[in-house]
Structures are given as structure tokens and as C-alpha cells.
Structure 1
């Protein structure tokens, strides 16, 4: 009897753990950085536009851009990606966190070409319904969110917008018939404001 009770207790514990998933948003600071041009040039393959550097907990994507360079850090089993943009002189331009396929979240830091911090932007201002709340909403409604580095193809997008003066979350995800389901949530309360199906158009 005692063994049965212990077994049932373990089942309850593990089922609770499997149901409650920690939502971790990568931390970021306002420190100045420079682009790792050496890692970029040494690992760049001919005819490729970007470099992938694989680590134990993440994949870094280094890529050239019109303004300079970008370093995207995708963490395994995480819905958020750390973004660092750099000028042509390799000095940091801005950095912050965004949903893997979507909009910025939290504080974004902006720098001038000399490396001076010139702006701290709170991208969550006006959003009482937090990014963590959005993830929980998606989990509850069985909306699959991308985790870590994703190859090409359409993946669920979470976008911040302003509609009629109201800040909202817009979630777009594929549904079984091949179209896209779009859901609009109130940025303050998380209340569903709109839900409609739109055709999927391949880019």
C-alpha cells in the first residue's frame, strides 16, 4: 500500500511539472559591444549570406545587413530570440529581445555610431497583457509557437500593433486546411477582440 501511495505521488508530481512550463525571456543589459567580424569572416561559406555558430544552449546567426551586421541568438526550447544590430564600423547599433517570429518585447537599447547609449525603449509600454501571458494563451489554445532556430517556412507570428488607438497582440498561425488563423488580443486585458481566417500566401 505504501509503495502504491509513493508511486501515485510521483505521478502527480511529474504530471504537474509537465503541465507547468517555465517561460524564460533572455536577459539583456545596456553594455556596449562590438560585432565579432573575425567569427563571421572565418566561418562564412562561399555563396552563403549568413553564418551559424552552434553552442550547447543556443545557435547564433551572424549576417550582413544594409546598416551593417546582425547577430541573432536563438536559445533551444525558447520562444524568444536575442537581437544585436551593429553599424558598418562593428559598433553596437541596438539590442533587445523579440518573439522568435514577431515583435520586440521588453527594453531595447539604442546606441549612436560612436557606441554611446542614446535611448532606452520600453516596447511593452501599454501592454498589461505580457509576453508571458501571450505564451500561456497560445499553450492553452494549442497554438504551436516556434522554439529556437527555425529553417525557412511559415511559423506562428506574434505581432504588436495599434488599432483604433488601442494596442493589441496579433497572433497568426497555420490551421489544418492550410490557411492562416488570425487572432487579435487586447493588449491590456488579453480579451479576444477578433478572430478570422485569411488565405496563406507563399512569399
Structure 2
């Protein structure tokens, strides 16, 4: 049977309702006050205009990035080198091969970028890894013919490094931050020494 108007439950309802309204108002005020802070903390998107529009970020922000595989490859002396040797630098890791026409087309831009970073003493490195199955001698010959000495030389004739990064084709460039995490990747050749790429790199240099 329904309770009458004088029941305790009915008397309490207006008080609870007012409290609910007050609580909602306070909650709304808190949310309004916090909104500018949340906006300020939102991740700034990477500048990916023009030639860099095909660059695919691997995570929505720096905190969400994942560590890259610590792959190995042979250097110009035949010594095995690890990718983790370059922690503390931004690394543009470029997978390529001497028989790959777009790769060969891209090499001059990578060379100019590396030379610029060296001149500016930037905390960054272009690191090409050749997947030539013919081995180190083939890559050394290519470097000599094209004057690529300023670029580090790496060869992974077994292709393990490429498999670790789940490559879909060549060339593929993977941008790695100073903590060894993947920022994103670019499939195909790109003008890495151009202004759009410079804007991307400058944004990464500004990261804490």
C-alpha cells in the first residue's frame, strides 16, 4: 500500500533531490575548471603535411609508444652492431637494398639529411640497414660508387631485422625516439631532406 504524504520517505525526498542538484552543480563546476587543464595536456599532433602526409604514427602520443626490437646488423668492418647502441638519439632507420630502385632514388636525400645533422650536431642519426642477400661486400661497393661514406653502413643479409619490424616492402623508414620507441613509419621513398620532414624532426627535437 502506498505511504501517505507524511511518511519519512516522502519527507526525505525533497532534501535528497536538492542535494543531488547541488552535487551535480559542484561536479559540473569541477569539470568546467578541469577542462582547460585537460586541453593543455592534450598531445600536440605531429606536423605531417605535404611529403610527410604518408608518414604513419605508431601511437597517438609519446607516452603510448612501444619499444622497437633491438635488432642487429653488420657494420662496414663486419662487426655486429645493435640498434640499442643509439639510445639517446632520434634514429631514422631505413630498410633498403641495392637492387631496389626507389631505395636507390632515396639515398641522396638520406645522405644530405645525415650531413646536415652532423653539421648541426643534432641528437639524431640516419641508419640505413641493407637487406642485400649478397652480403656486406655488395653494400660496401654500392657505398663507394655513390659516395655514401657519411652514412653509417649496415647489412642484414639474413633479413632478421626486416622480419622483426614486419616490413611490407622496401624502402621503409622507421622513426625512433631517444628512448628507443617507434614514433611511426614511412613506406616508400621520401624527400627526407625537405622542409616538411624538417618540421617533423624539429617537433621531435622539442620533446622532453
TM-score normalised over the length of structure 1: 0.27
Structure with the higher helix share, 1 or 2:
2
TM-score normalised over the length of structure 2: 0.26
Give 1 or 2 for the bigger CA radius of gyration.
2
- Which structure ranks higher in relative contact order (CA pairs < 8 Å, sequence separation ≥ 6)? 2
Structure with the higher strand share, 1 or 2:
1
